[in-house]
């Protein structure tokens, strides 16, 4: 299934994609969020004939595909070629940082650079949404705890991230820096999360091209590692790192976003995102 949330910010409704048609799920669930992402609930939704659901007409805004996100956990430098372009060593364990939930926006909402930003960058990433409580899970069992997958743009202000004393979270948590969606693709429709093509364009120019097969740590290994540090709950989101081609890695000089730029992201089987860049007043 492709589960989606649509409508104005803060008032999104649950839906699912029936081919190219958006159908309303409000008669069955109140939202696409942690409390309904367990296997039993997803199985009930899977058994619904989409043709019996009301069609959503017009062109409503598409919101983040998960509501009331619990923890937003991020893995850094998880592609060997991306680590190389930034001059970083290959990590021995998954690098973890957090993104503030207030950064989360819809997949096509504007990305707004904060005041004083001159180093705002892009990062297409595979997002993983937890559907079953995970604590001390093994790599072999890890994917059974996944509800589904989505696209995330881990937008980053590099000066805030690296030059303001503290941790990466400072450059990752600005408002609008977490476009998520367009839909949550349930895990039964993603046969192999380690074989998905990713790409990102800025103003129509291809910047990032990659494949999840080149991750240093797989989705299963990430879940095993994180669940040994903290309990993962339904509705928690993990974004798993980005392939090469980010602005800070451009040669001979870094290239950063400016007002009016347009980012377009896609991951095989997970849809597309499109954001226009603005500036905070």
Q: Report the alpha-carbon distance of residue 60 to residue 199 in Å, rounded.
A: 25
The CA-based angle 130-134-135, given to 5 degrees, is 150
How much is the pLDDT for 89? 83
Domain ranges of the chain: 2-52, 72-279
Predicted confidence band at 162 (pLDDT cuts at 50, 70, 90)?
A: confident
Reply yes or no on whether the pLDDT at 134 is more than 80: yes
Query: 141: Cβ–Cβ under 8 A, 6 or more apart, which residues?
Result: none
Under the banding of pLDDT at 50, 70 and 90, the label for residue 168 is confident
pLDDT tens string 82-120: 777 777 788 999 999 999 999 999 999 999 999 989 999
* pLDDT attached to residue 164: 85
Nearest Cα neighbor of 180 from 93, 262, 103, 85 is 103
pLDDT in tens, 223-273: 999 999 999 999 999 999 999 999 999 999 999 999 999 999 999 999 999
| pLDDT at 281 > cutoff 90 | no
**Class level of CATH domain 72-279:** alpha beta
Whole-number percent of the chain with pLDDT over 70: 100
The whole-chain average pLDDT of the chain stands at 96
For residue 159, what are the CA distances in angstroms to 81, 156, 168, 248, 263? Answer: 22, 9, 10, 10, 20
Give this prediction's pTM.
Answer: 0.96
**The pLDDT of residue 40:** 97
Per-residue confidence (pLDDT) for residue 14, from 0 to 100: 98
Report pLDDT digits (tens) over 47-66.
999 999 999 999 999 999 99
Helix (H, G, I), strand (E, B) or coil at 91: coil
């Amino acid at each position: 299934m492709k589960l989606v949330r649509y409508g104005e910010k803060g008032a999104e409704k649950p839906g699912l994609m029936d081919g190219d048609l958006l159908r309303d799920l409000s008669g069955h669930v109140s939202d696409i969020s942690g409390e309904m992402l367990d296997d039993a609930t997803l199985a009930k939704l899977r058994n619904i004939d989409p043709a019996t659901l009301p069609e959503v007409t017009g062109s409503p805004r598409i919101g983040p595909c998960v509501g009331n996100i619990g923890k937003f956990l991020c893995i850094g430098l998880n592609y060997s070629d991306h680590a190389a372009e930034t001059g970083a060593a290959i990590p021995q364990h998954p690098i973890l940082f957090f993104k503030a939930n207030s950064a989360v926006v819809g997949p096509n909402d504007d990305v707004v650079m904060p005041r004083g930003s001159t180093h705002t960058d892009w990062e297409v990433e595979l997002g993983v949404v937890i559907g079953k409580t995970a604590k001390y899970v093994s790599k072999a069992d890890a994917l059974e705890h996944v509800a589904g997958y989505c696209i995330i743009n881990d937008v980053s202000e590099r000066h805030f991230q690296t030059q303001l004393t503290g941790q990466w979270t400072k450059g990752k948590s600005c408002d609008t820096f977490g476009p998520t969606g367009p839909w949550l693709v349930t895990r039964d429709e993603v046969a192999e999360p380690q074989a998905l093509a990713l790409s990102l364009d800025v103003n129509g120019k291809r910047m990032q091209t990659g494949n999840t097969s080149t991750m240093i740590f797989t989705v299963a290994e990430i879940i095993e590692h994180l669940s040994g540090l903290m309990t993962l709950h339904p509705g928690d989101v993990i974004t798993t790192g980005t392939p090469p081609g980010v602005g800070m890695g451009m040669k001979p000089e870094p290239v950063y976003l400016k007002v009016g730029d347009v980012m377009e992201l896609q991951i095989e089987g997970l849809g597309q995102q499109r954001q226009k860049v603005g500036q905070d007043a």
